[in-house]
Structure 1
């Protein structure tokens, strides 16, 4: 996989993770306002976006595991950073929504 292909995967991961991040932050705000069903749906939607980001990431991992050389640049690192921080935000969001529900 050349750098251009890896960059495209990186951009895709950034897009999906960024979408999930926005949904999770919206979920926190909804829970804060007492809109629990909407918050729960936003978390479900965010999980779908995270799944897409993970699937995209897995494509690259599978190619490298198969022995293909992969040129990783800063865009891919940026994508990985977005995905990992979004996964952390997902865990925190679930806890915060639960706390708001217990109010």
Structure 2
């Protein structure tokens, strides 16, 4: 593996980590707003969380496309860590979206 390829994988990994971290943080901020009864704010934050998650997915997709084209990706601890961040942020977004929906339903039933 050449230096350029190594740097590219590291850059992609860091992009995944950064955007996933933003997505997770925004999702948990949305959960806090929901708990405070600020549903519209929480939904707005969730939209931002999903946009950040999409950015992380774009970086991951670049790796997948490259590998599909026959270019082998060297697996590193950093890349594994990035994938872990992405999976955790996706799970947080999914769960928090459901919690917000439940809270909206609960308020509408009152």
- TM-score by length of structure 1 reads 0.94
Partner Cα separation in structure 2 for residue 69 and residue 51 of structure 1: 24
Residue 52 (1) aligns with residue 55 (2):
yes
Are residues 1:26 and 2:29 paired?
yes
Once structures 1 and 2 are overlaid, which stretch shifts more, 2-11 or 39-48?
2-11
Q: CA deviation at 1:4?
A: 2.5
CA offsets, 1:12-45, max 9 Å, x none? Answer: 0000000000000000000000101100000100
Is the CA contact 1:27–1:42 (under 8 Å) kept in the aligned structure 2?
Answer: yes
Gaps of 5+ in 2: none
* Structure with bigger gyration radius: 2
Listed as ranges, the matches of 1:1-103 within 5 Å are 2-101=5-104, 102-103=106-107
Cα deviation code 1:39-58 (max 9, x no counterpart) = 00001001100000001100
Alpha-carbon distance between aligned partners in 2 of 1:62 and 1:43, rounded to the nearest angstrom:
28
**What's the C-alpha RMSD, in Å, of the aligned pairs?**
1.2
Consecutive unaligned residues of structure 1, counting only runs of 5 or more, are: none
Distance of 1:61 and 1:3 partners within structure 2:
16
CA-to-aligned-CA distance 1:30-87 (integer Å, 9 cap, x gap)? 0000101100000100110000000110001100100012112111111100000111
Q: TM-score, normalised by structure 2?
A: 0.89
| CA displacement at 1:7 relative to structure 2 | 1.4
